[in-house]
A and B are shown apart, each in its own frame.
Chain A
Amino acid sequence: MEEKDLSNPRMGVFICRCGINIGAYVNVPDLVEYAKQLANVVHAEHNLFTCSEEGISAIKRGIKEHNLNRVLVASCTPRTHEPLFRAACEEAGLNKYLFEFVNIRDQCSWVHMHEPEKATAKAKDLIRMGLAKARLLQPLAEIEMKVAPAALVIGGGVVGMEAALNLANQGFDVHLVEKESELGGLLRSINKLFPANKEAVKLFKPLGEEVMNHPKIKTHLSSEVKQVTGFIGNFNVTLDGKSEDNQVTVGTIVVAVGAEPLKPIGQYGYGKMANVITQLELEERMKKGEPVGQNLVMINCVGARVPERTYCSRICCMTAIKNAFLTKESNPKAKVWILHRDLMTYGVDFEDYYRKTMELGVRFIRYSLERPPEVVGEGKLERIKVYHELWRREIELPCDTLVLTTPLVPAEGNQNISRMLKVSLDEFGFLLEAHLKLRPVEFAMDGIYICGSARWPTDVTEGISQAYAAASKAAGPLRMGFVKAEAINAFVDEDECSGCGICEVLCSFQAIELQDRDGKRVSHVNEAVCKGCGTCGAACPSGAISMHHFTDEQILAQVQALFS
């Protein structure tokens, strides 16, 4: 990058109309005129969509033509578009940290839709403040860090195994950690898998063998991860003493710890009456070839789509339908009823399977949350009473086996994983991905990826797709061999530092620690791990810690600009 004279700020302002999202509520041309008369602004323009190719070209052109050394874009949100505009600056030869983003959409036009004049005035304030900071921006350099050429996969179920195999087949070393003494996860209890009705063991057993025999995979059975420190490219993982290796270093981590079916204790006589079982328990009976009864009633959505647990577990309708199909197939005289509150047989195969199950004579009854079914029988299962919502009457079904279809709930270990890896949980306890739509297999924490039911209930087919996806993301840094760390981080003025240690205690990422400098204790920031959250900077009583790109001077300049 050519050296630019940065001492004399030459600022370019690009204001986005965002179609009508901003343009209909804020007088953008007015903003451009306003910006032009502010100090150090040598160029200002507006674009219909600054993020479009046209807009990006305009930024690059502006930088070149006007020899800009600071760029301000006033548009939408940095959450989605900051990397984009920064990249545009870089491509035009400007260090990307000389770029400032002002949000005049989410924080202005969208919330003041009914007061366009005030919105425009506010937008002017925001731009003025942004420019005040931009004047003081300095170029920053990102650090490149080497990536340890290995991956860790936590969880040895089908999903974990597929992720491990995908990575290993790409040529990377993989450590696969499984807490049970054998591989296979939940599938070990499953009888057959929909929609092909394939025996589960025919899927997970060969996979397990492939994993155990793979030269690139080191499998740690009966082991759990005890501690993880470090950061993308360099995670130090401590396993619990049960396997040979106690410590491994990996570049990326894939979490595939799965989920557990809910045991509906206290509902419908579960735990008290004989032959009131869950779908999983039914599978186990069917696998062993045990009799499953002549009059089966299945109740769906037990413990799911209820006020205490509002979500739909996605795969249970198909599980129930599969088990009903298999029951009828082997015993055509059996009567099977499925009581449901919407049948989630989406897509091609599931809808087709549902219809085939109807052909075999399985009957479906819609019930409502307001009038749930009741078990009738003195200590012994005799009948199920249910209000048939679409027939508008209460009926009684003879029943010798009551199967409760329950949701998958987050695995017990999720809290631990969350703490250890510093990844979030959602309100139900499932692990939370970075962005629901566009980053579904990544965590917000760099270098850690998620797949399978640990994130959200999923069936085998989707889980395997997710495993490939997580593996392909995990392979990225491993293939490249290095990663870059964001340059917005904390830095310590060692002369000012008193060595009090408050920062070290407060840091949630363990990125700062006290070190010895010729007998004096001072704080040292590990720039690779530091996330730039600013907690230490705010807490430091000596004012020794500053945040790159958010220095006190820059922030105070913004405050001053607001009131000027």
Chain B
Amino acid sequence: MNKEDGRKSVLVIGGGIAGIQASLDLANMGFKVYLVEKSPSIGGRMAQLDKTFPTNDCAMCILAPKMIEANSHPNIELLTYSEVEEISGGIGKFRVRVKKKASFVDRSKCTGCGLCQEKCPWKVDSEFELGLGKRGVIYIPFAQAIPRVATIDKEHCVYLLKGKCRACEKVCSAKAIDFEQKDEHIELRVGAIIVASGLGLYDITSLTEYGYRKIKNVITAIEFERLTAASGPTMGELRRPSDGRTPENIAFVQCVGSRDFRNKAYCSSVCCMHATKEAMLAFEHHPGTKSTIFYMDMRAVGKRFQEYVARAKKEYDVTYVRGRPGRIEVDPENDNPIIWYEETISGRVMSFEAELVVLAQAMIPQITKEFADILGIELNEDGFVKVPDKLAQPLDTTKPGIFACGYVHSPRDIPDSVTQASGAAGRAAEEIASLGSRGGE
């Protein structure tokens, strides 16, 4: 590839909604886009959600068309189950080495029929289902996965580890299983890079006062989403972990790990809204469900958010209690969590018994220091991408030619991530064009 090609291409790291949007905008502007995603499918966090606020649109229903568009766009090349290993060069002429991990399935032959995952005798926790459900060791991560091809997880494959099984190979009518497959390394030349690696989940097990992983019926918000999602492990039936009963009295506890100097000092920004949404979903699934949200400040700042909260109060019987619980205990008779809190408006110390507690787990940027070093960009002390001058160039990183968008940039919801993604695309286009006009690069 010569230098000219580099300037017509952009690398997008991360196949969530932000990465997909940035890719589409760049592709529509005529750029060739390499969309690298380290899991087997694009879709990211949004694919795990049931509905999205404030419209209560079904998340997959509005995401799928974009995923399909990204897959079929002539200017976009999807590199799923791949990771960026090394980057050199600079704006206009980055050289990127990408490792396409061996999936042991020939993608050109795989039809995505799913028979292999049904027949695989070894089941492990599904990452997509956050451990609430299982998947085969050969698997398609979720029903609407793109590309819809199977992947063998070499960490758990009994054949690759011990030389036994090969059940998938026996049932595959397309003869797509290839245990000899190796990692492939390719080199790309791109003019700019957009980092959109998304949102991670902060491990709140150490916040022992909340009883997460000790008390069965205390779950996190994103686990709740998987329980209400139609494609989830319970087929959309909201059932509580201890006994499978539908909870009729749910408590949502906000700021678990966020706005907390001992954990994450910042505000994760989307939890006030997702708790409201989840309370509404619970009611929709089971009318008459009572939800109580324990909060400090109700941060409903986006467009139509205040009205959404008002609707939750009026039509969905959601009560908002201002107080940050100090401890969650459990009644051993019925496994009901009991929340100890001060109702700060009245000043009373009270306990609240719920059938299910949903914790608004703090969210973190999904990027490691090691990967930032590979890219040559800096992270700030909370691990978000460092932006040298937020007021002048809000989407720039500390390295020219590399831009960031979405949660890895700063805490934000889907509309703001989509906006930033388009913005990053615009910024990349502008910078690449400027190179040409500055001449001689």
The interface of chain A, by Cβ under 8 A from chain B, is 18-21, 48-49, 51-54, 56-57, 76, 80-81, 83-84, 87, 91, 165-166, 169-171, 193, 195-196, 198, 203, 305, 310-312, 314, 342-352, 355, 389-390, 392, 430, 436-438, 440-441, 455-456, 460-462, 464-473, 475-476, 479-480
Which bracket fits the contact residues of B?
35 or more
Q: Is the CB of B414 within 8 A of A437?
A: yes
Q: Is the CB of A344 within 8 A of B301?
A: yes
A469-B426 contact, Cβ under 8 Å, with A352-B266, A355-B265 = yes
- Is B126 interfacial (CB 8 A cutoff)? no
Interchain nearest-CB distance for A264 vs B (Å): 18
Interchain nearest-CB distance for B46 vs A (Å): 10
The interface of chain B, by Cβ under 8 A from chain A, is 25-26, 28-30, 52, 54-55, 57-58, 61-62, 64-66, 68-69, 71-72, 111-113, 143-148, 230-231, 235-236, 259, 265-267, 269, 297-307, 310, 344-347, 380, 382, 384, 389-395, 410-412, 414-416, 418-427, 429-430, 433-434, 437
Q: Is the CB of A468 within 8 A of B418?
A: no
Q: Is the CB of B267 within 8 A of A350?
A: yes
Q: Which residues of A contact B422 (CB under 8 A)?
A: 441, 468-470, 472-473
Q: Which residues of B contact A196 (CB under 8 A)?
A: 389-391
Q: Which residues of A contact B389 (CB under 8 A)?
A: 196
Q: Which residues of A contact B306 (CB under 8 A)?
A: 305, 310-312
Interchain nearest-CB distance for A73 vs B (Å): 13
Interchain nearest-CB distance for A319 vs B (Å): 13
Q: Is the CB of B423 within 8 A of A469?
A: yes
Instruction: Beyond the given A469-B25, A476-B28, please list 13 additional residue pairs across the A-B interface where CB-CB is below 8 A.
Output: A51-B64, A83-B65, A171-B433, A195-B390, A346-B269, A346-B411, A348-B382, A392-B346, A441-B422, A456-B303, A464-B394, A468-B426, A475-B29
Q: Which residues of A contact B111 (CB under 8 A)?
A: 57
Interchain nearest-CB distance for A424 vs B (Å): 14
Q: Which residues of A contact B410 (CB under 8 A)?
A: 347-349
A479-B30 contact, Cβ under 8 Å, with A389-B345, A390-B345 = yes
A437-B68 contact, Cβ under 8 Å, with A53-B147, A479-B29 = no
Q: Is the CB of A348 within 8 A of B25?
A: no
Residue from A49, A171, A346 in contact with B299 in the complex, judged by beta carbons closer than 8 Å? A346
Interchain nearest-CB distance for A106 vs B (Å): 10
Q: Which residues of B contact A468 (CB under 8 A)?
A: 395, 422-427, 430
A20-B230 contact, Cβ under 8 Å, with A312-B301, A437-B62 = yes
Residue from A91, A312, A469 in contact with B420 in the complex, judged by beta carbons closer than 8 Å? A469
Pairs across A and B, CB under 8 Å, 27 listed: A19-B143, A49-B64, A52-B146, A56-B68, A57-B111, A81-B64, A84-B69, A170-B429, A193-B391, A196-B391, A347-B411, A349-B390, A350-B267, A351-B267, A352-B266, A355-B265, A390-B344, A437-B415, A440-B419, A456-B303, A464-B423, A465-B394, A466-B419, A468-B423, A471-B430, A472-B426, A473-B422
Closest 4 pairs (CB-CB, A-B): A472-B426, A469-B422, A468-B423, A468-B426
Interchain nearest-CB distance for B151 vs A (Å): 14
Q: Is the CB of B65 within 8 A of A51?
A: yes
Interchain nearest-CB distance for B121 vs A (Å): 23
Q: Which residues of B contact A343 (CB under 8 A)?
A: 297
Q: Which residues of B contact A351 (CB under 8 A)?
A: 259, 265-267
Q: Is the CB of B418 within 8 A of A437?
A: yes
Q: Which residues of A contact B148 (CB under 8 A)?
A: 52-54
Q: Which residues of A contact B411 (CB under 8 A)?
A: 346-348
Interchain nearest-CB distance for A410 vs B (Å): 13
Q: Is the CB of A19 within 8 A of B301?
A: no
Nearest CB in chain B to that of A305: its residue = B306
Q: How far is the CA of A56 from the CA of B112 in the complex (A)?
A: 12
Q: How far is the CA of A475 from the CA of B434 in the complex (A)?
A: 15
Residue from B68, B347, B415, B426 in contact with A471 in the complex, judged by beta carbons closer than 8 Å? B426
Interchain nearest-CB distance for A345 vs B (Å): 7
Nearest CB in chain A to that of B114: its residue = A54
Q: How far is the CA of A53 from the CA of B107 in the complex (A)?
A: 13
Q: How far is the CA of A166 from the CA of B393 in the complex (A)?
A: 12
